[in-house]
């Protein structure tokens, strides 16, 4: 009887064009050689009648502020656009969407100046076990799956009648309230939820034709996982290729001016393109060495 009452309550919420927002604490170890360095990020899972969106709270806030600043500069017509680094930009840059009722799943990720929409071609195949446990305020049951190059243990609750969960996980008879991989490198735990009014559809900034900003504007390139893996390997081998091409292509366009500036670790500003690209390549390769423990190894290896 309890489950029927809960189901009716959630169904009523969905009909009223509201969103059920679930808060997950995501703990992850980016560097497998430094397991003491555990990062934390608050992730949001927004569920409505059409599907769900999973993304970083901090990145969403930072992106919203950044877009508002850019739009203000475009409207002012000053002739130049300055993009300042956000104080708390978020550590998780990807997002995942699922479309009901088929649970068509997409991962959104960026490589350099390109944004990708990656179709997920595999569904999590679960083995539900008899083990039961209290996770927070919820009665939960155990399930296991192999997905994305990792072995996962999940706990789901039928107290909340959504067959969804964080990241790409779904398909259990209830909401996933906790999931962790076998190495303890990645775990997502439900820590709260609330009902909010459905937000307005977020529109991309309409940049002038002669303006291109890293990670802003433009449509995502829809690709398969294999196509993304190919693009990722090319990026790892040559991290500044896209930027060099942009600069070369702008050479014959009088309406386009491309400028790159970076600061070295000692605070010195570099504007010479060759030095900038060398510094960016060095930083990227150093960063990749320390970010070697991704949530989905099969996507980049």
Q: Give the residue extent of every domain in the chain.
A: 2-224
Check if the beta carbon of residue 108 is closer than 8 Å to that of residue 96.
yes
> What is the bridge-based pairing of β-strands 262-263 and 269-270?
antiparallel
Check if the beta carbon of residue 43 is closer than 8 Å to that of residue 24.
yes
Please give the sequence-ordered ranges of beta strands (E in DSSP) within the chain, or none if there are none.
18-28, 39-48, 51-56, 95-99, 104-111, 114-119, 127-135, 138-147, 150-157, 175-181, 186-197, 221-223, 262-263, 269-270
Q: Is this structure's pTM higher than 0.85?
A: no
pLDDT of residue 154: 98
pLDDT of residue 117: 97
The CATH number, out of the four listed (2.10.240, 2.70.98, 2.50.20, 3.40.50), of the domain defined by the range 2-224: 2.50.20
Q: What is the pLDDT of residues 199-256, one digit of tens each?
A: 655 555 555 555 555 555 567 899 999 999 999 999 999 888 777 776 666 555 545 5
pLDDT of residue 200: 59
Residue 132, burial from CB neighbour count under 10 angstroms (0-12, 13-18, 19+): exposed
Place of tokens 């735990």: 189
pLDDT of residue 65: 74
Regions of the chain with pLDDT less than 50: 1-15, 254
pLDDT of residue 31: 96
pLDDT of residue 34: 94
Q: What is the pLDDT of residues 271-294, one digit of tens each?
A: 666 777 777 788 888 888 899 999
pLDDT of residue 61: 87
pLDDT of residue 275: 74
Q: 3-state DSSP call for residue 209?
A: coil
d(CA 137, CA 139): 7
């Amino acid at each position: 009887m309890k489950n029927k009452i809960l189901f009716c309550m959630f169904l009523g919420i969905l009909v009223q064009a509201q969103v059920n927002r679930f808060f997950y604490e995501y703990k992850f170890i980016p560097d497998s050689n430094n397991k003491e360095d555990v990062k934390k990020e608050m992730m949001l899972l927004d569920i409505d009648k059409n599907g769900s969106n999973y993304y970083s709270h901090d990145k969403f806030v930072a992106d919203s502020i950044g877009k508002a600043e850019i739009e203000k500069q475009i409207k002012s017509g000053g002739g130049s656009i300055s993009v300042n680094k956000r104080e708390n930009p978020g550590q998780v840059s990807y997002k995942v969407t699922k479309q009901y009722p088929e649970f068509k799943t997409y991962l959104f990720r960026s490589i350099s100046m390109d944004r990708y929409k990656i179709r997920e071609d595999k569904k999590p195949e679960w083995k539900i076990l008899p083990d039961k446990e209290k996770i927070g305020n919820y009665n939960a049951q155990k399930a296991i799956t192999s997905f994305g190059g990792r072995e996962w243990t999940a706990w789901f609750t039928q107290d909340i009648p959504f067959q969804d969960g964080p990241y790409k996980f779904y398909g259990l008879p209830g909401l996933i309230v906790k999931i962790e991989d076998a190495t303890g490198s990645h775990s997502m735990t439900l820590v709260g939820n609330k009902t909010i009014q459905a937000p307005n559809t977020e529109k991309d900034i309409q940049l002038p034709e002669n303006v291109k900003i890293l990670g802003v504007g433009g449509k995502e390139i829809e690709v398969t996982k294999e196509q993304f893996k190919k693009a990722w390997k090319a990026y790892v081998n040559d991290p500044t290729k896209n930027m060099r091409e942009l600069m070369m292509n702008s050479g014959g366009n009088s309406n386009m001016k491309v400028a790159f500036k970076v600061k070295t670790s000692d605070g010195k500003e570099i504007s010479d393109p060759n030095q900038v690209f060398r510094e960016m390549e060095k930083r990227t390769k150093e960063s990749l060495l320390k970010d070697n423990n991704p949530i989905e190894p099969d996507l980049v290896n």
